[in-house]
């Protein structure tokens, strides 16, 4: 069995294999291009290519805090409270999240031993005759290639690693810096600058706030389909889609123009699995349920139901979704899902039904409900915590809080679904919190719980 990459999805697969059978039934090898686990949660100053000339896959930035409440993504058996020994504020900076993930992974001793680090997968091909997959890889550090055979392959590279960079009239001669969000590293760089953010989804919303927080002089977000419509703090505004650039000027669809210094494209990501042979390659745009995947996981286009894709759905539940999906895949492979002996026709019908439902989704609440059903379906098959889907209500509240005030939604407190403990308030508002380190964050929680006990 092979897992392609050791990010949150792939690590969930390794974790669940180790959990289900004590690591005895299946021999697992994981290939990871980076020198460590964690996928996009690893911050690197690099953009473009890495030290080996390979494309940098993680579009992580220095001061990122989660944009969703941690209560909606925590592992049922390993809460944030269990990890840090105390309740911590609702939204967490990147180092806290990575530390939490690592805490979970380290519960299974020796998980890293089955990971081939610094090794990039070049090609995966299915062999009809032997009912196996041939996988070609390169060890980047040693600059050597190898070929191995596997019975099962889990592709867990995620869907946010290859930036989508459309063209805009005049952008090539725009007299300022232009970059995709994937290459955004540090908001401090944009202090005093006038920014134009193209598009209005999660990256746009987060980078706009982040840059304002770190001193950008103004931010315009330009929308194609509809504006985000949040009550923005002073300094951020929305305008209809950019039509062209001339010199330093941006011309908008409503006839207005603005002088700007920097253009940041937040135009999303392309599904990219270049290492998969044609018939095995998932092709999709961003979707809550890409086609051709039984239970959102088993590839139905070839590979005899022994090829799996993880985390290819747009995400609300993120880590929880990866975890239940990983558990489902592990149990499926081990034949431990009750009544799971569907014909290819039945699997295709099931996948089509989900895709059809997905096509009816109209707003974020529909999306949340849909993903809740997905988690519920996989949970019922596997015995995953039925409480996980209680995150639905928190996600609704989170959306509501964002609508109320996009600048303060990270300052709200929820209770953990699994412990019932309410997260303490951070001592500073997100807009005023400039220390993202684990120690600072944990200390805040400590001081808070002390003062709460004293009051
Ligand atoms: P996204 O959600 O896929 O949004 C892409 C945007 O690009 C959409 O608004 C789309 O507009 C627009 N677009 C695409 N092509 C365009 C074109 N040719 N012209 C104009 N507009 C175009 O991507 P994302 O915002 O980068 O988010 C990706 C993931 O990263 C999400 O899961 C998000 O939660 C995560 N993220 C997390 C954080 C955090 O935790 N702090 C921060 C940033 C991102 P239409 O709506 O018009 O199609």
Res 426: pLDDT: 83
Q: What is the best residue among 267, 313, 406, 436 to mutate for testing ligand 1's pocket, by most ligand atoms within 8 Å of CB? A: 267
> Among the atoms of ligand 1, which is closest to the Cα of residue 204?
25
Residue minimizing CA distance to atom 34 of ligand 1 = 202
- CA distances from residue 401 to 61, 221, 233, 245, 426 in whole angstroms, order as listed: 24, 20, 15, 35, 17
- The confidence score (pLDDT) of residue 119 equals 98
108 CA to middle of ligand 1, Å? 35
pLDDT for the residue 453: 39
User: What is the β-pairing status of strands 298-299 and 293-294?
Assistant: antiparallel
CATH superfamily placement of domain 2-161+269-395? FAD/NAD(P)-binding domain (3.50.50.60)
Q: Could you give the residue ranges of the DSSP H alpha helices within 47-93?
A: 80-84
- What pLDDT is recorded for position 427? 82
Q: What is the model's pLDDT at position 447?
A: 55
Of 288, 311, 285, 310, nearest in space to 373 by CA? 288
pLDDT at position 449, please?
Answer: 46
Give distance in angstroms: CA of 267 to centre of ligand 1: 5
pLDDT in tens, 88-116: 887 889 999 999 999 999 999 889 999 99
**Length of the chain as a residue count:** 455
CATH 3.50.50.60 at 171-265, yes or no? yes
DSSP H stretches of helix in 156-243:
202-213
Q: What is the number of the ligand 1 atom nearest to the C-alpha of 200?
A: 9
Let me know: does 325 contact 12? Beta carbons within 8 Å: yes
Atom of ligand 1 nearest to the CA of 225: 47
pTM (predicted TM-score): 0.95
Question: Which residues have CB under 6 Å of ligand 1?
Answer: 64-67, 160, 164, 166, 181, 199-204, 206, 224-225, 266-268, 286, 315
User: Atom 16 in ligand 1: which residue has the minimum CA distance?
Assistant: 267
The predicted-structure confidence for 216-225, as pLDDT tens digits, reads as follows 999 999 999 9
| CA 445 to each of CA 93, 405, 422: distance values in angstroms, whole numbers, following the listed order | 13, 24, 12
Helix, coil or strand: residue 446:
helix
For residue 166, which atom of ligand 1 is closest to its CA? Answer: 18
DSSP 110: T
pLDDT along the chain (455 residues), means of 10: 98 94 82 96 95 93 93 92 86 93 94 96 97 98 97 97 96 96 97 96 97 98 95 96 97 97 98 97 98 98 97 96 97 91 92 98 97 98 96 96 95 92 87 88 58 38
Residue 321 CA to ligand 1 center (angstroms) comes to 20
- Across-strand partners of 138? 120, 145
Which of 69, 166, 224, 314 gets mutated to test ligand 1 (max ligand atoms within 8 A of its CB)? 224
Of all protein residues, whose CA lies closest to atom 46 belonging to ligand 1?
Answer: 225
Query: Between the CA of residue 450 and those of 169, 212, 438, what are the distances in Å?
Result: 57, 32, 18
The pLDDT, as a whole number, for residue 445 is 53
* The pLDDT of residue 444: 59
Residues of the chain with CATH 3.50.50.60: 2-161+269-395, 171-265
């Amino acid at each position: 069995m092979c897992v392609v990459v050791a990010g949150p999805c792939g690590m969930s697969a390794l974790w669940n294999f180790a959990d289900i059978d004590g690591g005895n039934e299946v021999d697992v090898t994981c290939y990871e291009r980076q020198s460590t686990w964690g996928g996009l949660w690893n911050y690197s100053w690099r953009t473009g290519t890495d030290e080996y000339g390979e494309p940098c896959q993680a579009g992580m930035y220095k001061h990122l805090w989660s944009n969703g409440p941690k209560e909606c993504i925590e592992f049922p058996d390993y809460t944030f409270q269990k990890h840090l020994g105390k309740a911590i504020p609702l939204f967490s900076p990147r180092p806290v999240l990575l530390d939490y993930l690592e805490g979970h992974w380290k519960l299974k001793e020796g998980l890293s031993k089955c990971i081939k680090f610094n090794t990039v997968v070049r090609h995966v091909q299915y062999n009809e005759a032997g009912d196996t997959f041939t996988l070609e890889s390169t060890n980047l550090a040693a600059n050597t290639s190898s070929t191995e055979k596997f019975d099962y392959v889990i592709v867990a590279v995620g869907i946010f690693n290859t930036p989508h960079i459309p063209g805009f009239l005049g952008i090539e001669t725009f007299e300022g810096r232009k970059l995709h969000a994937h290459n955004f590293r540090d908001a401090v760089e944009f202090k005093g600058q006038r920014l134009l953010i193209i598009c209005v989804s999660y990256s746009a919303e987060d980078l706009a706030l982040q840059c304002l927080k770190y001193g950008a002089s103004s931010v315009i977000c330009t929308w194609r389909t509809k504006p985000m419509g949040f009550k923005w703090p002073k300094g951020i505004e929305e305008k209809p889609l950019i039509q062209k650039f001339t010199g330093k000027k941006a011309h908008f669809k409503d006839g207005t123009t603005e002088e700007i210094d920097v253009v940041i494209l937040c135009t999303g990501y392309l599904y990219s699995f270049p290492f998969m042979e044609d018939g095995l390659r998932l092709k999709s745009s961003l979707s809550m349920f890409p086609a051709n995947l039984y239970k959102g996981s088993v590839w139905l286009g070839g590979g005899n139901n022994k090829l799996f894709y993880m985390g290819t759905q747009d995400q609300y539940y993120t880590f929880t979704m990866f975890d239940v999906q990983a558990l489902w895949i592990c149990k499926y492979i081990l034949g431990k899902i009750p009544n799971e002996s569907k014909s290819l026709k039945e699997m295709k019908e099931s996948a089509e039904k989900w895709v059809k439902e997905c096509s009816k989704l109209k707003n974020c609440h529909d999306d949340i409900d849909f993903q809740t059903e997905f988690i519920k379906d996989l949970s019922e098959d596997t015995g995953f915590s039925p409480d996980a889907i209680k995150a639905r209500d928190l996600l609704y509240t989170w959306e509501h809080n964002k609508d109320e005030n996009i600048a303060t939604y990270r300052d709200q407190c929820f209770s953990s679904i699994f412990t019932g403990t309410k997260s303490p308030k951070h001592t500073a508002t997100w807009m005023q919190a400039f220390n993202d380190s684990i120690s600072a964050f944990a200390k805040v929680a400590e001081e808070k719980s002390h003062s709460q006990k004293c009051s």
